[in-house]
Amino acid sequence: MTQRLPRGGAGVATLTAALLALTALPAEAAGPTGSSPPGRHSGTAPTVKGGETQPVFSRADAVTQTVNIETTADSDRDGVRDRVQLRIMRPKETDTAGLKVPTILEPSPYWAGGNDVVNHPVDIGDARAGAFAAPQRNLAALFPGYYDNYFLPRGYAVADLDSIGTGGSTGCPTSGDRSEQAGAKAAVDWLNGRARGWAPDGTPVTADWSTGDVGMIGQSYNGTLPNMAAATGVTGLKAIVPIAAISSWYDYYRANGGVLAPGGFQGEDLDVLAKYVLTRENPEVCAEIIDGIEAAQDRETGDYSEVWAARDYVGQAKNVRAAVMVVHGLNDWNVKTKNSVQWWNALKKAGVPLKLWLHQGSHATPFRWRVEEWLRQTHRWFDRYLYGIRNGIEHEPRVDVQHADGTWETARDWPVPGTRTVPLALNAGPSGQPGRLALWPRRGATQSFVDEGRTRTAEQLLVNEDRADPGRLAFLTPPLHAPVRVNGTPGITLRASLDGRSPYLTALLVDYGTGTRPTGRRTDTGERVCYGQGVPGDDGCTTRQALETETAPYKIITRGWLDARNRHDPARTEPIRPGQTYTFRWDLQPTDYTVEPGHRIGVIVLSTDYDYTLRYPAGTEVTVEPGVSRILLPLAGGGRRALR
C-alpha cells in the first residue's frame, strides 16, 4: 500500500447553546455570520457563514499536545494493555477561552516510516526461487497534509494517531485485526472521556477541550483504520472519509480462493506489511506475534479462514454510526476497487449516510487535481456531521464519477440508475480463434491454451488480439456503433477443464482501439493553489496536479482471478480432476468505463497473471467450451443496443 507523508464551565454552556441553534436553523441563518481576522477571534464558538465554519482561529497560535491512550487490547501479550500515541493540534482558545471543538483525526501505521523487508517467493516449485527484496514504498506518495492549515482555523482540532506497534505506540502491528481496531477506537473513546490517557511524562490527561465528536480521514492504510473504527460502532465517531481504503483484507491479499498481490508488491502479505510498519520501541517483542500471522495466513491454498474473518469489516457495516464518504481511483490496482464498492453496498443496505467519489487516478486522492471541490465537499461533510450545521451536503447527489476525458458526472446512486447486467457469450470464431463476443450464444468446438504466465505478462498475452496465441484465448465484439458504459462489477462464467499444476484462471476485460486514456498517474502542473493559513515551513499551499494520459491501442478495463480449486467456496479447496469440465464463476474488479464507438470489447482468458497471482511452472492446459461460457457486463442506459 502506498505510504503516507509524515507531518509534523461557561464555555461548555455557550458552545452547546450555539450548536443547538445551528441544528435548528437553515444554513443561511445558522450560527453567527460575522468574520474575525485569524488570531483575533475571542469567542467560544466557531463562526458560521453560508453553512460553513469560517477560518477565524489562528493556525500559528495553535497549541499542541501528545497523549498516550490505553486501548482494550494486549496485542504483544505482555499482560499490559496496548497504548496508542495521539498527537493533537488545536486552537489556542481551547486553552484560553473554554472553547470546545470536534477533532479530525488521521490514524496511520506510517508516521514513523517503515523498515526494509523481504517479500515471499511467488514462483512455485522452482528450487532457484527465493524470497526477494520488497519494492520500497514511497512515503511521500500521499498528498501533503493540509488538515492543520485548513480545518484548524475553522474550529477543529486535528490529530495524528500511531496505530499499535508503530511510532510512539506499544503493542504489535497485526495488519487489520481486532487489536488494531481497538487501537483506532481508543482514540475516539479518549476524546469522549471513556478511555485513560497520559502525557509523555506520565501525568493523567483528559480531553476537556473536546466536544466528543470525531471525524477520521486518510488514504490506503490511513483510510482503512477509519473503516475499522467505524465498524466497531464507537459512539462519537460521526463521519469518516476513507480514501482507497480496505474493507476486507482478504480482498487485498487474496481473490476467490487465490493468493493475490496488491499491484506492484508481488509476494507481500499480512506478515510482510506488519514487519514493514513495526517501528515501536523494542520491536523484537513482536517477533512471535508476526511469526504467528505468517503461519496462519496460508499462502498455499488462499482459502478464506478465521484469519481473514478477523480482518473483514463488510459484515460489520450494520454497526456503523458514522456518515461515510467513500473515495477510490478507478485505476487503482493496489487497493482494488472491490474494497470500496463492497463497503459502499454494505453501508447502503445499513442505511448509513453516504457519498461516493470514483476518480481516474490510481492509488491517490483527488485533492491535488480537484482541490476546490474536494475541500468544499469534505468541509461541508465534517461541518454537517461534527458541528451539526444544516448545509445541505446530505441532499446533494451522492455520487461523483470522473470520466476518461477528465469531466465529472454526479448521480444519485452507483451503479448509475438504469444499469442492467447484459450477458455476452464467448463464442468460437469462424476459424476458432479469436472468438466472438455476442448477445446470442453459439456452440462450437472446444478451444485450448497452455499457461505461459510465468514468463509472459498479461499485457504481453493480450496483444495481437486478431491472431491465435497459444498462451491465451481471445473473444472480441465487432466495432461498436455507439458508446458502451460498463459501470458496476462484471462477472464471468466459464465451462472449462484444467490439466496441469496451475489452479489459476484469469479474465481480462479489454478496450481494443487506439485512443487517449488516463493512466492513473499524476503530474505537477506548476500552478500553486493556496488552501489555508500558512506558517514558517508550511505555506498552506500545494501544486495542482493533472492526470496523465497516453495514446495506446488498448487498455485493460478490469480483471479478475479465481483459484479453480475454490470453484464452490473461497473458504474450501477441492481437488481438480485433470481433463474434467467444471463450471467456474468469478467476479472481476468493479469499474466505471466507457468504450468509445469504433472500438471493440475484448475478453482475454489466461491462467497465471504474472504481476498478481502465484506463478506455477508453465504447461497447464486449459480447455474452454465456447457458447456456454459468458461474460456478464453491467451496462448503463442503452449499452445493450450498441452490441447488436
| Residues noted as catalytic | 220, 332, 363
The β-bridge partners of 542 are: 529
Residue 299 DSSP label = T
The three cell numbers locating residue 12 = 461548555
Helical residues (DSSP H) of 463-583, grouped into ranges: none
In our burial notation (b when 16+ CB lie closer than 10 A, e otherwise), range 420-431 reads: eebebbbbbbee
Cα angle 90-176-163, degrees, rounded to a multiple of 5: 30
CB distance 143 to 364 below 8 Å: yes
Q: Can you tell me the distance from the alpha carbon of 587 to that of 378, in angstroms, rounded to the nearest whole number?
A: 32
- Backbone region of residue 84 per phi and psi (left: phi > 0; alpha: psi in -120 to 50; beta: other values): beta
Which residues 6+ apart lie within 8 Å of 280 measured at CB?
165, 166, 167, 168, 169, 170, 171, 172, 286
The rounded radius of gyration (Å) of the Cα atoms in the chain is: 26
The answer, yes or no, to whether the previous bond of 415 is cis (omega within 30 of 0) is yes
Residue given cell 499542541 in the structure block: 64
Q: Can you tell me the distance from the alpha carbon of 638 to that of 488, in angstroms, rounded to the nearest whole number?
A: 15
Parallel, antiparallel or unpaired: strands 210-219 and 237-243: parallel
Burial class (CB in 10 A: 0-12, 13-18, 19+), 284: exposed
Q: Which helix (H) or strand (E) holds 491?
A: strand 491-499
3-state SS, one letter per residue, for 346-375? HHHHHCCCEEEEEECCCCCCHHHCCHHHHH
CB distance 483 to 568 below 8 Å: no
Q: Can you tell me the distance from the alpha carbon of 499 to that of 507, in angstroms, rounded to the nearest whole number?
A: 18
CB distance 535 to 487 below 8 Å: no
Handedness of CA 171, 174, 178, 183 (dihedral sign): positive
Q: Can you tell me the distance from the alpha carbon of 81 to that of 69, in angstroms, rounded to the nearest whole number?
A: 10
Q: Can you tell me the distance from the alpha carbon of 124 to that of 130, in angstroms, rounded to the nearest whole number?
A: 10
Q: Can you tell me the distance from the alpha carbon of 374 to that of 151, in angstroms, rounded to the nearest whole number?
A: 13
CB distance 510 to 589 below 8 Å: no
Residue 261 DSSP label = P
Helical residues (DSSP H) of 136-177, grouped into ranges: 147-150
Q: Can you tell me the distance from the alpha carbon of 140 to that of 251, in angstroms, rounded to the nearest whole number?
A: 25
CB distance 170 to 76 below 8 Å: yes
Coil vs helix vs strand at 74: coil
The three cell numbers locating residue 606 = 489466461
Q: Can you tell me the distance from the alpha carbon of 447 to that of 582, in angstroms, rounded to the nearest whole number?
A: 15
The β-bridge partners of 515 are: 552
CB distance 72 to 84 below 8 Å: no
